[in-house]
Every structure is written in structure tokens, then in C-alpha cells.
Chains A and B, each alone.
Chain A
Amino acid sequence: MSLLDILFLGALAVALAMALLGGTRPAGVIATLSYAALLAVLALMEPLLAQSNAAIASSVKFQIIGEEIGWSMNGLGWFFALITVAAALFASWFSSGQWGAVQYDMRRQHVLLAVNVFAMLVLLSSQDLLGLFIGWELVSWASFAMMTQRGGAAARAAYRYILYALAGAMAVLAAIVIIRAHAASFNFADARMAVAALPSATKWTVVALLTAGFGVKMGLLPFHLWQAPAYSETPGASSAFLNAISARMGLYALIVTLLQVIGTDVLTNLSVQFIWLDARDIIMWLAAVTMVVATFIALMQTDARLLLTWHGIGQGGYMLLGVLIASPLGTAGGLMHVMNYGIYQAALILSVASVMHRTGTSDLDRLGGLITRMPLSYVTMLMGIIGLAGLPPMNGFVSKWMIYKSLLEGREPLLLALAFVTTLGTILSVYKLIHNIFLGQLRQEHWEIREAPLSMTVPMLLLGAICFVTGAMPGLTLQLVDRAQAAIGVPLLAHHLGGVTLATGSLNMLWVVGTMLAMMGMGAVIFYLLGGRHRAVHQYDNYAGGHFLSADLRYHFSHEFYPGLARVIGPWYRGWIVRAEASLIRLSDIIGHAWRGSFDAGITPLYVMAALVAGLLWVRSAGGLP
């Protein structure tokens, strides 16, 4: 019985325990402790994965068409599993107290969380294409169940997701069938050799099918429409889990298939005539466009949860971009961003969830001034948005810096420009987020709001603290990233506690953060020790052109926050892609009607004959007939 078996059994045991005890009061604590135990198992696995090709095998196996299918976890899967279990830990910690007590059905949420963790662990331990597919389906259905639990808008969005996901899974299955037909094995290593020998048209097909199939989960353009509504309508703690890690399963599968099975050398050799782009460039451009479009859609949202989930889609683009650069720096940056993003996004979603818990709304037009009532949630959100915007001293800065740097060194100035544009959009939108919720005028209906209870604020603040510590000491995260990088087969990035030392410009966050803190300390000395005299004034003792302010007068401008920007991006924000999706549906309707109509018209034999001739020609061309 290996450690991986213990991990699987542990995850299953949590699901079982939650099915039995999920409705009781200590369920949240039990779940939190169980995830902590799973984290401990993962920590025990770490030394075993120190060598580059090391993997921990599970004893679960089965035979199919003469092949043995099993599961084993390598460094890459381990890295993602770490984030998964940690996200589940914080989500269940958050729901262990008052938040869980007021939920409609906390038992179901606990069970679904545990089932999701199990499904993800299975996916992350896949060692062959069939295992990958099985894990993929498990994850799809588990997250579908999680999203649909609340009913209403979430269920509709989740339904759209499952349609996309099933289509994606079929695409993946088709790609696997093609590879298997040539490799005669599901094994990654055999598949790699077989893919390298494929004709380029087939290679293109495989790459397109895999990118589309796994891209659905990542929300890669143009499959991004489902994710934000589905994730944002899921209840707070589950939403934090989904946002932090669920969409990253698509990235994991893309890394495994594009980098390990197909390989970047194959991708870069697949060039398109006349436009100087190869397959890797096209996927990178797709990631970059996803990044820009999703971020600017996030900017226009008026709901805090939607704003954050749209950012999740955009940040996924950064990760894919970094990973596909495939240099040591880029891969490390992309993988590190997975972890950093998971930390700050969970903190942000939990902060919004606690605001929702107290106020009952996450509508950015109906909040404001909560900093005086919920200071701890404010601090969490502040730390989270600094991370999301990619500014020092938070961890998001380090990974984004590494991605920028790798784009620069990979001679991709246009993609770098898009990354910068995205960062601009991110900074603008996170300012909107924190301003509309916590700054400005406190509304009369929120005068009696209190801070969220400790069971909610402690995990939130802890996430914020991790965000800061891993920002000041990125070496801690890079150490974990090493395991994943070794498993992909990319050379390791030399690093130290404070960052990386490169010939073309280094980053030492200890110095950056130290300098920042020293300057802030000097500012604090000037303002508090030398000046010292300050006086808090009432919020209605505010200047509005001499106007007298009162509770019935709104002076907190949160509606239509960026009107100038909205005028610029409005035309394409208004949903060309939504219209495209609708017209695709209409087109398929029309084709379907036409098809049925032609059946009715009685020309079926013609189609049968055409299909027969086409089939014969295909078999003939494949060399099956003399």
C-alpha cells in the first residue's frame, strides 16, 4: 500500500464521513482536519519525488484491451494536488463555523467538496491517456455536481458547462483514439513517439482536439462563456475552491498532453504557411487573447463574484502563456502562478463571501464604506487584490514578473504587450472592486453590520498572510515548483529564497519588500510620530462642493465606474462572442432542420450512397483495399 493509495483512500474516507456526518455541527472541523491529514500525506510524498522521473504508483490497476491501466503521481500532479487539498482545507475551514450553519444544505457541500478533491487526485495521478480521460470525466461531473447544487442561475450555467465539457471530452476522446491507433498503447512515452511520426495534418488534428477539449475547462477563448456565471453562483466556500483550482485542471491536462505527449518541438514544427506562426504560437495567442478579453469583461462586471471569476479566466491565460514558453523561467513562472493565483483568489472569494454573509449582496452598486465595519475582510481583500494585480510585495508580482521576463527572453514582444494591457485592466478592475465594497460612503442599511466571525476571518487572513510571505520569499514556492518542473522534463530554474538570479536581470524580493517596508516605515514615522495629531471625521463631514451630506444622499459613485473606458471597449464588450455562440446554435438548428427535411423529402438513399462512397474512398486511400 503506497502513499498514493493512502491519499486516495483518505479522500474517499472524507467523502464518506461527510455523507454520514456532514449535517452535524463539527463536520466542518472534521473536514478541515482530514484535509490537513491529506496535506501531511502529500508532504510525506515530497522526498520520494526528489528525482526527476520519480512517481509514486497506486496499487489500483485494471486490464483493458490487453493493456494495464494504473495510476501514479509524479511531481507535476503532486504540485497541483497540493494546491487542491490546501484549497479544500481553507474552504472547509471557512465553512466550519457560522457560515456553514446558515447554509441551506451544508452536508451536500461538504460531500461534493470531498468528491471533487478525490476526482482531482485521480486525474492528477493519471499515467496514461486512458487514465487521463477517466480522471477528466470524473472531474467534469464532480464539478458539475458542485456548481449545480444551488439551483437557479448556477444550475443553468452549469448545464451550459456540462454541454461544453461533454463536447470537449468527445474531442479529447477522438484525439486519444487517433494517438492510440498509431501508438498501439495508451502510455505517454509510446504516445510521444507515435505522435512525432504522424503526418502533419493528423498532428494538427490532435493538437486542435486536445486544446479545444481541455481548453473548455480553462475557459480558453472561445469556450469561456460558461465559467464565470457557474463559479460565481456557487456558494462562497465551494466557489473559493472552484476558483482556486478547478479550472486549473484544464491547464494540468494541457501541460501533460501538449508538453509531455506531443512536445514543444512538435508544436513549433507545425508551422502555418505565410503567417509565420506555428501551433505553439497559435495557442499562445489564444491564451493571450483570453487574458485580455476576460480581464476587460471582468472590468465591466457589477457583481463582485462575477468580477473575480472573470479574472480567473484571464489569469489562466497567463499560466498557459508561461508554460508554453517552455523555458525554465517561463514554466516556473506559469506553474508558480497557478499556486499564487489559487492563494489570492481563494482569499478574495472568501472575503466577498463574508461580505455577502453580512450584507446579503455582492452587487457592487449596493455596497460601500464597509471598511469601518469589516476591517479584517478589507485587509484580506487588499492583500488579495495586490496579488491579483501583480504588484509587490504580494506573490502575484513574482510569478507575473517571471512570465513577463520569459516572454521578453522568448522574443515575444507582442504577447508581452498584451500581458501588460491585461495587467492594466486588472489594476483598474481590482480598484473598482475594493472601492465599491469597502471605501466611500457606508449605506444606511449597513450601519449595524459587524465583522465576520473568527471562523471566517482567520482562514481568510491566513491566506492573505501566505500571499505576503510567498511574495516576500518566493523561494518557498519555487522549491515546490521544482518538483513539477522536473516531472515535465524542463531544466530546473536556479533560485534562492528571495527569487532568481539571472544574467539578464535578477529579482530578489527580500530586497524589494525590505525597501518597501522601510519606506513605509519612514512614512509612518513622519506621519505618526512627528505629526501625530490626526482626527477622524464623520463620513458626512465630507466636501461635496459645500453641499450638506446626509444618509439619503448618495455621494459614493459606484455605478458605471469607468464610463470613459466603457465607451471604448463597450462595442466589443456588448457581446460579439455571446452573439457568435447564439448564432452557432441557430446555425446548428438550421442544419438540423435541413437534415431532417431532406430525410422527409425521401432522398435518404442518396445520403446513404454518398456516405458509402465516401467510406469506401477513405478505406481505399488508407490502403485497406487493393
Chain B
Amino acid sequence: MSENAGSRNPLQLRDQPETCRTADAEERSAWQRVIGRFADNCRARSLFVLHYCTGCGAIELPPTITSRFDMERVGVSPMVTPRQADILLITGYVALKTLKRVILSYEQMQAPKYVIGFGSCTINGGMYWNSYATIKQLDQYIPTDLFIAGCMPRPEAVQEVFLELMRMIDAGKANAWRDYYRNYDHYLANQQALFGPQWHTPTDIVAEAKHYGLMGPGTTGPHTRLLDQHAEWALDRIPEDYPERGENERSER
């Protein structure tokens, strides 16, 4: 079943300050709080889910979405692209290869964004607990708002977790995504521990953290410095001594 942020994750290993999970009251003026409250209220009523169907849990989603349980009546509907999606739903075990794709898809989503880990596999590895090829705890690599325990959870449980997420968004408590920006170095360290020091995605999380005003002491660190080697894209550079084109017109003949 679902777990909300208050009685949070019993499996939480990291020492995490609670302020990361709530909106920072000092930063917001009263007017912004009103706007933010209104925006949260609206946001909770229109959620698009990117289903990252990695394992068997995907089979529970059709009844959840379609007429039997019909999540669309509360404003939750599927979306095919990450940039337009609000929720990343990981339905099952995450192999190492899959994790790279999951991280890429997560980073391509636009904030605010929420992650739901579906089934035991995302919590403790589930029946793959001793596999060499799967990760055991999803929230070591991307910040997770909610988990659904069970192998596998029934659609009622999925429904419950969506409703819980809506309540959290409405209350301004679904802020796990801020944690990714504030403690990016921590997440990147775990990712690099798996994929090696060459690991990188085309997205620039540090720049996004600046963009959202979420730079924290844990945003940059020894691990983000390793990204600098990939920072400059050859594509964006045009050499100064660029030769004029047009010779092809002549050479065509």
C-alpha cells in the first residue's frame, strides 16, 4: 500500500533533512504562496503519467486506467512523452540497462515531477533481491515520492497511491523532485557507482537547478565535476576558419 511523506519511507537509508520535502516558506512572499497554493490545487487535478513499464506490474495498469477503475475521472491519464508528463511510474524491477533509460526519461521531465515506485521490486528488489543485474532501491538513483508495496499491487492500490499523490501535491508536500536538484551530487554518485565515471546524460541538471533556483550545497560536488568533460558539445562550436560553401555547385558538373 501507499506511504505518504509524513510517515515516510521505513527503508530510508539516507539522513535527509525534512526541509527538502516541503516548500521553503522563507523564499516565498504571501502573494507567491497564494499563487503557489492555487497552482498546486490545479496541478493535483491534472496529472499525466508516463508509464515506464519495466516488469510484470504493467499488467495492472490497463484495468486502472480503463473503465473498471477509471483513473481518468480524477484527472490522471497516460502520456507518451516525458516532457509533457508529470508522473513517472516505474512498474517493476529495474535492470541496470533500464535504469539508464529511466534516469534519462526522468531528467527530461519538466519540474514539478513526481516518481512512483510500483511493487516490491522498486523498494527492495523483490523477487530479484539477489540478482546481479537489477537495482534494489529505486530512490537511491532518482528521488521517489511514493512507493506501492506488494507483488504485485492490485489496481485499488494503484488508485490509492494516485489519490495520495494528489493529496500531497495539493498540500504542497510532493517535493521529492526538489531533492534531485538540491542533492544532485548524491544521486549522481550512486549512478556513477553503477555506470562508471563516464556516465552522463544529455541533460544539464546543474543548469536546471539554477534555472529553478534550487541550487543547494549538495547540488555540485566531486561527482558533478566529472561531468565537465562532457559539457562542451562539439556540435555547438563553429570554427572561425569556416570554409565558404558553394564549391559543390561547380564540382557537381
CA distance A76 to B211 in the complex (A): 62
Contacts of B208 in A (CB 8 A): 535
Stretch touching chain A among B4-12, B101-109, B167-175, B182-190 = B101-109
- Pick from B101, B102, B249: contact of A357, CB below 8 A: B249
Contact, CB under 8 Å: A102 / B101: no
Question: CB of A533 within 8 A of chain B?
Answer: yes
Q: Are B202 and A102 in contact (CB under 8 A)?
A: no
On chain A, the residues within 8 Å of B101 by CB distance are 545-548
Main secondary structure of the interface of A (DSSP, over half): loop
Q: When the two chains form the complex, which single residue of B83, B100, B235, B245 contacts A358, counting CB atoms closer than 8 Å? A: B245
Please, how many angstroms separate the alpha-carbon atoms of A29 and B35 in the complex? 60
**Are A98 and B246 touching (Cβ within 8 A)?**
yes
**With a CB–CB cut-off of 8 A, which chain B residues contact A538?**
202, 233, 235-236
A551 to B234, CA, bound (A): 11
Please tell me if B250 contacts chain A, counting CB pairs below 8 Å: yes
Q: Which residue of A lies closest to B236 (CB)?
A: A538
Interface size class of chain A, counting residues whose CB lies under 8 Å from the partner chain: 20 to 34
A selection of 18 A-B contacts at a CB cut-off of 8 Å is A102-B249, A151-B253, A357-B246, A358-B245, A358-B246, A442-B235, A447-B238, A450-B238, A450-B242, A537-B203, A538-B233, A538-B235, A541-B203, A543-B105, A545-B101, A546-B100, A546-B102, A548-B202
B242 touches A360 (CB 8 A): no
Cβ B211 vs Cβ A448 within 8 A: no
B202 near A541 with CB under 8 A, answer yes
| Chain A residues close to B by CB (< 8 Å) | 98-99, 101-104, 151, 356-360, 442, 447-450, 533, 535, 537-541, 543, 545-549, 551
Inter-chain contact B250/A104, CB cutoff 8 Å: yes
Q: Do the beta carbons of B105 and A448 come within 8 Å of each other? A: no
Residues 41-60 (chain B) with a chain A CB within 8 angstroms? 52
B249 touches A104 (CB 8 A): yes
> Are A548 and B83 in contact, with the CB atoms below 8 A?
no
Which of A102, A151, A448 interacts with B247 by CB under 8 Å? Answer: A102
Distance, CA A360 to CA B245, complexed state (A): 8
Does B253 lie within 8 Å of A357, measured CB to CB? no
| Chain A contacts for B104, CB-based, 8 A | 546, 548
Minimum C-beta distance from B35 to chain A (A) = 12
Q: Which residues in B have their C-beta under 8 angstroms from that of A358?
A: 245-246
Contacts of B250 in A (CB 8 A): 102-104
Bitwise, B161-205 to A at CB < 8 A (1) or not (0) is 000000000000000000000000000000000000000011100
Residues of B with C-beta under 8 A to A541: 108, 202-203
CB distance from A373 to the nearest CB of B (A): 9
Determine the distance from Cα of A98 to Cα of B82 in the docked complex, in whole angstroms. Answer: 44
- B253 — nearest CB in chain A belongs to which residue? A104
CB-CB under 8 A from B222, the residues of chain A are none
Question: For residue A235, which residue of chain B has the nearest CB?
Answer: B249
Say yes or no: A360 contacts B105, CB within 8 Å.
Answer: no
**A102 proximity list for chain B (CB < 8 A):** 246-247, 249-250
- B interface vs A, CB < 8 Å? 52, 81-83, 100-102, 104-105, 108, 201-203, 208, 211, 233-236, 238-239, 242, 244-250, 252-253
Whether B202 pairs with A360 at a CB distance below 8 angstroms is no
B165 CB to closest chain A CB, in angstroms?
Answer: 22
A449 and B203 in contact (CB under 8 A), knowing A104-B253, A360-B252?
A: no
What distance in Å separates the Cβ of A492 from its nearest Cβ neighbour in chain B? Answer: 47
Asked if A448 and B242 sit within 8 Å, CB to CB, the answer is yes
Cα–Cα distance between A357 and B250 once the two chains are bound (Å): 10
Complex CA distance for A104 and B250, rounded to whole angstroms: 6
Query: In the complex, which residue of chain B has the Cβ closest to the Cβ of A444?
Result: B235
Residue of B nearest to A360 (CB): B248
| Smallest beta-carbon distance A105→chain B, Å | 10
Chain A min CB distance to B227 (Å): 14
Closest A residue to B101 using CB positions: A546
Docked pose: A304 CA to B253 CA in angstroms: 20
A101 to B245, CA, bound (A): 12
Is B202 touching A540 in the complex (CB atoms < 8 A)?
yes
User: Smallest distance from the beta carbon of A185 to chain B beta carbons, Å?
Assistant: 50
Residue of A nearest to B239 (CB): A448
User: Roughly how many angstroms separate A449 CA and B245 CA in the complex, as a whole number?
Assistant: 8
**Neighbouring A residues of B247 by C-beta, 8 Å:** 102
Give the chain B neighbours of A551 by CB distance below 8 A.
Answer: 235
- The 5 A-B pairs at the shortest CB distance, nearest first, are namely A546-B101, A360-B248, A541-B202, A102-B246, A102-B249
Q: A540-B202, A548-B104 are in contact. List 9 more A-B contacts (CB 8 A).
A: A102-B246, A103-B249, A357-B245, A360-B248, A450-B238, A535-B211, A537-B202, A543-B105, A545-B101
B135 to chain A, nearest CB (A): 15
Contacts of A533 in B (CB 8 A): 211
- Chain A residues near B236 (CB, 8 Å)? 538
Residues of A within 8 A of B105 (CB): 543, 546
**In the complex, which residue of chain A has the Cβ closest to the Cβ of B84?**
A543
Chain A residues with CB under 8 Å of B246's CB are: 98-99, 101-102, 357-358
Q: Give the chain A neighbours of B242 by CB distance below 8 A.
A: 448, 450
Per the bound structure, the CA–CA distance linking A103 and B105 in Å amounts to 48
Q: How far is the CB of B215 from chain A (nearest CB, A)?
A: 15
Chain B residues lying within 8 Å of A548, measured Cβ to Cβ, are 100-101, 104, 201-202
Which residues does chain B contribute within 8 Å of A99, judged by CB atoms?
246
Q: CB-CB < 8 A to A546: which residues of B? A: 52, 100-102, 104-105
Q: List, in ascending order, chain A residues with CB within 8 A of B253's CB.
A: 104, 151
Other-chain contact of B202, A101, A151, A359, A549 (Cβ < 8 Å): A549
Nearest A residue to B246 by beta-carbon distance?
A102
B residues in contact with A356, CB < 8 Å: 249
Distance of A549 Cα from B202 Cα, bound (Å):
9
User: Are B252 and A543 in contact (CB-based, < 8 A)?
Assistant: no
Distance A538 CA – B239 CA, assembled complex (angstroms): 19
B199 to chain A, nearest CB (A): 11
| Bound form: Cα–Cα A173–B84 in Å | 66
Q: Please, which residues of chain B bring their CB within 8 A of the CB of A539?
A: 235
Give the complex CA separation of A103 and B250 in angstroms: 6
A537 to B102, CA, bound (A): 19
